[in-house]
Amino acid sequence: MSISIDALPPFKKGEIPVDRKYFSTTSSILLITASALIAASLFFPWWGMEFFAPQYPEGLNIIVYPNKLEGEIDIVNGLNHYIGMKNFSEANFPELRYLPFLIGGLAILTLITGLLKRKAILFLLIGFFIIGGMLGVWDLHRWLKDFGTNLSPTAPITVEPFIPPIIGENTLANFITHSYLGSGFYMVAAAFILLIIPLWKERRR
Partner 1 sequence: MKKWVPAASGLLAGFLAATVFFADLSPAQRSEASNDTNKSNAEKVYVPFGEKDEYYLFASGGHSGQMFIYGVPSMRHIRTVPVFSKDSATGYGWDTHSKEMLGDYTWGDLHHPAFSEKDGDYDGKYMFATDVGNSRAALMNLETFTVKDIINVPNTSGPHCAAFVTSNTEYMFLPTRFAVPIGREYASLDEYSEKYRGVMSAVTFDDKKEKLNIAYQVALPPWSYDLSDAGKKVSADWAVMTTYNTEEATTNLEINASQADRDYIVLFNWKELEKMIKDGQYDEVTGQKMIFPEKHKGGIYLVPVAKSPHGVDVTPDGKRFIASGKLAPAMTVFSFEKAFEAIKKEDFAGERNGIPVLKYESVMEKEVNPENALGPLHTQFDEKGMAYTTMFISSEIVKWDPNTGETLDRVPVQYSPGHSVAAEGDTVDPDGKYLIALNKIAKDSYLSVGPSHPESMQLIDLSGKKMEVIQSSPVNPEPHYAQMIKADKIKTISVYPKDENNPDAVYSQDQTKIVRKGNEVHVYGIAMRSKFIFDAKVERPDQIEVNEGDKVVIHLTNIDFDQDITHGFAINGYDLNIEVQPGQTNTIEFTADKAGTFPIYCTNFCSALHQEMTGYFLVKPKK
**Residues at the contact surface with partner 1, assessed by CB under 8 A:** 30, 37, 72, 74-75, 78-79, 82, 156, 183, 186-187, 189-190, 193-194, 196-197, 200-201, 205
49 membership: H or E segment, kind and range: strand 47-53
* Closest among 159, 132, 161 to 146, alpha carbons compared: 161
Least Å from the CB of residue 104 to partner 1: 20
Q: Which is nearer to partner 1, 37 or 99 (CB)?
A: 37
Least Å from the CB of residue 119 to partner 1: 16
Least Å from the CB of residue 86 to partner 1: 14
Least Å from the CB of residue 33 to partner 1: 9
Cβ–Cβ contacts within 10 Å for residue 154, how many?
Answer: 7
Q: Which is nearer to partner 1, 96 or 181 (CB)?
A: 181
Q: Which is nearer to partner 1, 82 or 123 (CB)?
A: 82
Q: Which is nearer to partner 1, 59 or 165 (CB)?
A: 59
Least Å from the CB of residue 28 to partner 1: 13
Q: Indicate the length of the chain as a whole number.
A: 205
**Cα distance between residue 111 and residue 86, in whole Å:** 40
Task: Report yes or no: 68 and 96 within 8 Å, Cβ to Cβ.
Answer: yes
CA angle 198, 200, 203 (to 5 degrees): 100
CA angle 120, 125, 127 (to 5 degrees): 95
Q: Which is nearer to partner 1, 93 or 192 (CB)?
A: 192
